[in-house]
Amino acid sequence: MKRAELAKMIDHTLLKPESTAKDVEALIEEGAQLGTFSVCVSPNQLPIEVPEGLKVAVVCGFPSGAHIPEVKAAEARQSVELGAQEIDMVVNLKLVKEGKFDEVEADIRAVREASEGALLKVIIESAALTDEEIVACCKASEAAGADYVKTSTGFHPAGGASVHAVKLMRDTVGDRLGVKASGGIRDTKTALEMVAAGASRLGLSSSKAILAGMDD
């Protein structure tokens, strides 16, 4: 894989709560220089101006997912109105742990319906889940009309993406949905391992360092 190919799989990410508009401007400039697929930011940063070819992804219900569906839906709707082309929402982990996957699906569907026209990724926080819960979250995401399942917020103490979780997610959704690996991916080797395991998108804040390790 060449550097440009990997770059086109990257959501160049800045989600630190203290990030300023200047920080986001620097993120956009770097993303454009690196040729990443998108920049991923918090909803309070919108609206933002990006050069042609660079997409805007925005998180929703982040980072805990512990919001009622109506709040997530309202947040997603406003983000799309302010220019978000992709929404990265967090599942309700309480419902996941209680095995209430009909309600998990309904939560995702509320955001899906509120973000019409945008690509929807569902963050399942895989490091905090059992294999059975990972599979069930993927199935609920697909049933609710999501476009991608995503490993992690990068904020959970249980950790971020793992090769095992990415493989399991890819096996569950097949080629019907995308799989995004994010959280703790800080070097080229790890990034490529995630792609080999089935990731079709990567959420990275260390994009520049990771791409520097690739051949042209």
May I ask the CATH architecture of the domain 3-212? Answer: Alpha-Beta Barrel (3.20)
Is pTM beyond 0.85 here? Answer: yes
Query: Could you give the count of Cα atoms lying within 13 Å of 140 in the half-sphere of its Cβ?
Result: 28
Choose, from 107, 121, 147, 180, the residue flagged as catalytic.
180
150 is known as an active-site residue: yes
Run of H or E residues at 148: strand 148-150
Choose, from 11, 72, 88, 121, the residue flagged as catalytic.
88
* 105-154 pLDDT tens trace: 999 999 999 999 999 999 999 999 999 999 999 999 999 999 999 999 99
88 is known as an active-site residue: yes
What are the CA-CA distances from residue 106 to residues 19, 20, 73, 160, 198 (Å)?
32, 34, 11, 25, 27
Q: Hey, where are the domains in the chain?
A: 3-212
